[in-house]
């Protein structure tokens, strides 16, 4: 076999959502910070296209690139590549990266608990992993500061009329809608409709509401639409189903860690949660993340929280992605049958 490039990947998923991890074959991108490295990857497109486009990738896949950390406290750093975005942070991907680092022996595992600090483009995240018999069984991620944006504002969506929505940031940016008001129970057979409507709502929210991170002006759009089901009380807090629609039109199989963080920030802003309370988020396939508000933390002068999320990850394989010099599609391809008529990728 001949190849002009070989990229080494350990494949993983967190509560159902794919988050592969590049462990070799790619040089660190230029940049003085992990954010600058992220921005290079987002603008350059070469690596994104190779690993995310068909035939190696697909709309269901996320891929993370391990890079040397820039912050002196960090043990490792990673850059997240999603189908249409290169985001500041991702809960499911941070769980996948942590699982690969420990199960793959890249960072030494200490049983029963391994602690490490990871550097995401959006900031440091502190990880605690419960480990047994050589397996990281549960990953706890202390996420970046999260905050509520606009509360209970009107949004006009073609074909749906006027919706009442919230916006929030949990390491990524969301427009949040009431699933029941739109007729959704967050069931598996609703995935296609949730994905389609979610993209439409996200696009409308970007056009009408916009988003601006007070400490990171580069992040100026809403990435996702979170469909949130009703809340029920538990012994330690609250529980509820949710589904997140991801551009260009798929539903997150996991409960989406950044959505859990954003939803907890909204609930804190509305007086429904406080420091120490927990929230169990249930995905469209029945998998769960547990969220907890660790502390209050202002963001750019507005109230915010430090959220923690926890979930499980599993390694699914080891791959070497190759490029034959005669391959007529070196950058891969994408078709509207699965990718949809998505907007051009944001930078």
Active site amino acids = 90
Residues 6+ apart with CB under 8 A from 295: 275, 305, 306
CA distance linking residue 92 with residue 312, whole number of Å: 9
Question: How big is the chain, counted in residues?
Answer: 347
Extended beta strands in 70-223, E state: 76-81, 113-120, 123-132, 135-142, 147-148, 153-157, 161-169, 173-178
Dihedral sign, Cα of residue 65, residue 67, residue 71, residue 72: positive
Q: Are 15 and 44 in contact (CB under 8 A)?
A: no
**What are phi and psi for residue 22, nearest 5 degrees?**
-80, 120
- Let me know how many helices (H) and strands (E) the chain has, helices first: 5, 20
Handedness of CA 66, 70, 75, 79 (dihedral sign): negative
Q: List the structure tokens of 44.
A: 């350059």
């Amino acid at each position: 076999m001949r190849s002009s490039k070989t990229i080494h990947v350990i494949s993983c998923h967190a509560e159902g959502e794919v988050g592969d991890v590049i462990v070799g074959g790619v040089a660190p991108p230029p940049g003085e910070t992990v954010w600058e490295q992220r921005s290079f990857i987002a603008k350059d497109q070469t690596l994104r296209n190779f690993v995310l486009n068909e035939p190696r990738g697909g709309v269901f896949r996320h891929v993370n690139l391990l890079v040397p950390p820039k912050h002196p406290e960090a043990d490792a750093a990673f850059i997240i590549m999603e189908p249409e975005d290169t985001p500041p942070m991702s809960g499911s991907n941070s769980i996948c990266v942590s699982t690969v680092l420990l199960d793959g022996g890249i960072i030494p595992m200490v049983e029963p608990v391994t602690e490490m600090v990871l550097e995401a483009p959006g900031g440091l995240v502190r990880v605690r992993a419960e480990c047994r018999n050589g397996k990281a069984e549960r990953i706890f991620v202390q996420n970046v500061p999260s905050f509520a944006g606009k509360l209970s504002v009107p949004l006009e969506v073609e074909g749906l009329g006027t919706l009442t929505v919230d916006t929030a940031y949990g390491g990524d940016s969301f427009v949040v809608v009431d699933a029941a008001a739109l007729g959704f129970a967050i069931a598996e057979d609703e995935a296609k409709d949730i994905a389609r409507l979610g993209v439409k709502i996200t696009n409308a929210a970007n056009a009408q509401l916009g988003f601006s991170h007070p400490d990171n002006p580069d992040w100026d759009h809403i990435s996702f639409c979170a469909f949130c089901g009703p809340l029920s009380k538990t012994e330690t807090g609250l529980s509820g189903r949710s589904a997140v629609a991801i551009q260009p039109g798929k539903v997150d199989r996991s409960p989406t860690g950044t959505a859990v963080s954003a939803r907890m920030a909204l609930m804190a802003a509305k007086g429904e949660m406080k420091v120490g309370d927990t929230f169990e988020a249930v995905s469209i396939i029945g998998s769960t993340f547990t969220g907890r508000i660790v502390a209050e933390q202002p963001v750019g002068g507005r109230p915010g929280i430090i959220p923690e999320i926890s979930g499980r990850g599993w390694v699914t394989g080891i791959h070497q992605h190759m490029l034959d010099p005669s391959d007529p599609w070196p950058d891969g391809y994408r078709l509207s049958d699965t990718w949809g008529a998505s907007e051009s990728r944001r930078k």
